[in-house]
Chain A
Amino acid sequence: MSEAGVIHDIGYQRYDGPRLGRGAVLAALYQHGLRASFGLGRPAKSKIFPWMVAGIVLLVAVIDAGVRARTGIVLFDYYQFDDTLTWLIIFFVAIIAPELVSRDMRSGVLPLYFSRPVRAADYVGAKAAALVTAVWLLLGVPQLIMFLSAAFTTKTGMRGVWHEAGNLIPGWGYSLLWAVIFASLSLLIASLTGKRAFAAGGIVAVFLMSTPVVGVLNVLPSTTAHNLSGLVSPMTLVNGIGIWLRGKVDMGLDIGQLGPVYGIEAFCLVSACLLLLLARYRKVASL
């Protein structure tokens, strides 16, 4: 062994550097969650799924942008883009939400978190924010690509770019709506079990089972039933709010004058999910 190879034991060193507050802890937890959503800092296996979904979504956006640039035909606008990709969003949250919360539950790591300055509210907040951001990025980045393509090929100069940006911003807002509703609902379901497969199945089931109910309500001979049918399923709920806020009748769902009901339900749904999550982790933290 050379002299340089000798390891000198310098003994235990006390730490007297800065200790950051709960804000920094929250930020660290959020960052960790966001990275985990895309499998960063995890083995290659956990990168496959999120990047596959992201790849498909990007591909759809690139094709749309390409077709539009070449032929001027708009395959779908920013809203329709989100609506079209509903299934991918469901699969994305069904895999990522358990990755964020069930995994912690399964490995028993929570006592280590809650014996540190992390509180139940911090944990729920950071995880929800991480998943919302992940879903929003999943939709928002392709939307940005669509925008860039449209902006560079516009024939009306700056005015065209502004017009396009005026479409993009609400489109991003719509994506955020998808992200918030899907993230809170799927996190709540995932927090109930430590088994990732069960959690994923549960999330898909909740999203899928509600769809036939919408269909049944839609064949009833009552306009009110038609107008209310969208409330049953999270997908049509988001849809309905989009229709309400844009004041535009979309194909399929007819919400009539009941737009505010959709808005209220969405708000209540998200609040209820987050409060239930908080209650759940309050209990877990003291175990």
Chain B
Amino acid sequence: MTIIATQALTKTYGGGVTALADLTVDVDAGVIGLVGANGAGKSTFIKIMLGLIAPSSGEVRVFGLDPVAQTDQVRARVGYMPENDCLPPDVSASEFVTHLGRLSGLPKTAARERASEALRHVGLYEERYRQIGGYSTGMKQRVKLAQALVHDPDLLLLDEPTNGLDPAGRDAMLTLVHRIGNEFGISVVVCSHLLGEVERICDSLVAIEGGRLLRADRISAMTTASDVLAVEVSEGTDELAVALAARGLPVSHDGRLLLVPLDSEDAYDTVLQAVAELDLPLHRLDQRRHRVAELFTTKETADV
């Protein structure tokens, strides 16, 4: 099911700055990674989907609705978590999320119930009655996520949800986003400039650069037939590389590792034979998936 569809979407700001240029993409339900460098147009895209700014030209549809003309219907089904700090320090999380629930049109009691629910789902229990000012960054990010969930949207737009978190906090946040996408039945668009982060949890990926679409596809389609074998030997890395190249395998270096494309099961045997013949101490031999980042870099260099 397509949830977001754009047709030649273009946004030019007053000063002649083009934030989005001729963006045409169809996005299916699921967890979607929206990646691009800072200033690539991710935030502009999100604001257009929320009906906060109107596109200069082209069309956008969210759940088949036009965010400019049917703003309220779209916003009722979309939850938004901004990138920046957006929490008042002197209220409790529970009260704050309840208030925002009411602003989304929930009746008073329903808003209160949904707020506790949302806070529980993001992992805030008793802390929710404390003032937000005393929260850690990780807890604040959770409150931001909870307020986006409170009105039970069908789509979450998360702008850099892992911003400012430590590695453990990042993992927890990503796990949570993954859970929302898979267990709650809510589609999630995760904006990030860190590809390695979103590729772990996303079903599909939309990459934009300079306001243009770089690539949009399912993760599975991007990573098929791109598995590699990583070989690590304690010594004699260079000799092994020469030996493997002699056997017709295109070897590439990655630090102390040698990467060999895993085209067929034979590659295992070939590598093992080469190592055995050279009598090298084999440290590691494992299959690993190509990271999506590598796809983009190879594509970009191919373009140049």
Chain A contact residues, CB within 8 Å of chain B: 11-15, 17-22, 24-25, 28-29, 32, 41-43, 46, 103-104, 107-109, 111-118, 285-286
Contacts and interface: CB of A to CB of B under 8 A. Distances in A.
A12 B105 contact: no
A112 B183 contact: no
Nearest to A103: B88
B107 A116 contact: no
Contacts of A114: 52
A42 B91 contact: yes
B117 A13 contact: yes
Given A20-B105, A107-B87, A117-B103, 19 more contacts: A11-B183, A12-B121, A14-B185, A15-B110, A17-B106, A18-B110, A19-B105, A19-B106, A22-B105, A32-B102, A41-B91, A43-B90, A43-B131, A103-B88, A112-B147, A115-B52, A115-B75, A117-B75, A118-B103
A118 B1 CA distance: 29
Contacts of A118: 103
Contacts of B185: 12, 14
B181 to A, nearest CB: 11
Contacts of A22: 72, 105
A112 B100 contact: yes
Contacts of B52: 114-115, 285-286
B37 interface: no
Nearest to B118: A12
20 contacts: A11-B183, A15-B152, A17-B106, A17-B107, A21-B105, A22-B72, A28-B99, A28-B103, A29-B103, A32-B99, A42-B90, A108-B82, A108-B86, A112-B82, A112-B147, A115-B52, A115-B82, A117-B71, A117-B72, A117-B105
B178 interface: no
Determine which residue in A43, A115, A117, A286 has the highest number of CB atoms from chain B within 10 A of its CB, and name it.
A115
A4 to B, nearest CB: 17
Nearest to A32: B99
Chain B residues touching A, range:
35 or more
B105 A112 contact: no
A29 B104 CA distance: 11
Given A116-B104, A117-B71, A117-B104, A12 B88 contact: no
Given A14-B152, A112-B147, A117-B76, A107 B86 contact: yes
Given A117-B75, A118-B103, A286-B47, A12 B184 contact: yes
Contacts, number: 102
A20 B85 contact: no
A280 to B, nearest CB: 16
B51 to A, nearest CB: 9
Contacts of B47: 286
Nearest to A16: B152
B95 interface: yes
Interface of B: 47, 50, 52-53, 71-72, 75-76, 78, 80, 82, 84-91, 95, 99-100, 102-108, 110, 114, 117, 121, 131, 147, 151-152, 183-185
A111 B86 CA distance: 8
B109 to A, nearest CB: 9
Contact of A111 (B76, B82, B131): B82
Contacts of A29: 103
Given A14-B152, A286-B53, A46 B103 contact: no
A15 B86 contact: no
Contact of A15 (B50, B82, B90, B151): B151
Contacts of A19: 76, 104-106, 151
Determine which residue in B86, B95, B110, B185 has the highest number of CB atoms from chain A within 10 A of its CB, and name it.
B86
B243 to A, nearest CB: 55
Nearest to A110: B86
Given A42-B90, A117-B76, A25 B152 contact: no
Contacts of A11: 183
A22 B103 CA distance: 9
A115 B80 contact: yes
B110 A17 contact: yes
Contacts of B78: 115
Nearest to A21: B105
Given A29-B103, A109-B88, A12 B80 contact: no
A120 to B, nearest CB: 11
A69 B80 CA distance: 59
A28 B273 CA distance: 74
Nearest to B84: A108
A286 B48 CA distance: 10
Contact of B86 (A41, A112, A116, A286): A112
B86 A25 contact: no
A104 B100 CA distance: 13
Nearest to A36: B91
Query: 9 closest pairs, A vs B, by CB?
Result: A15-B152, A28-B102, A115-B80, A107-B88, A12-B184, A108-B86, A19-B105, A20-B105, A111-B82
Nearest to B88: A107
A21 B104 CA distance: 9
Determine which residue in B47, B89, B102, B147 has the highest number of CB atoms from chain A within 10 A of its CB, and name it.
B102
A18 B80 CA distance: 21
A285 B75 CA distance: 14
B86 A109 contact: yes
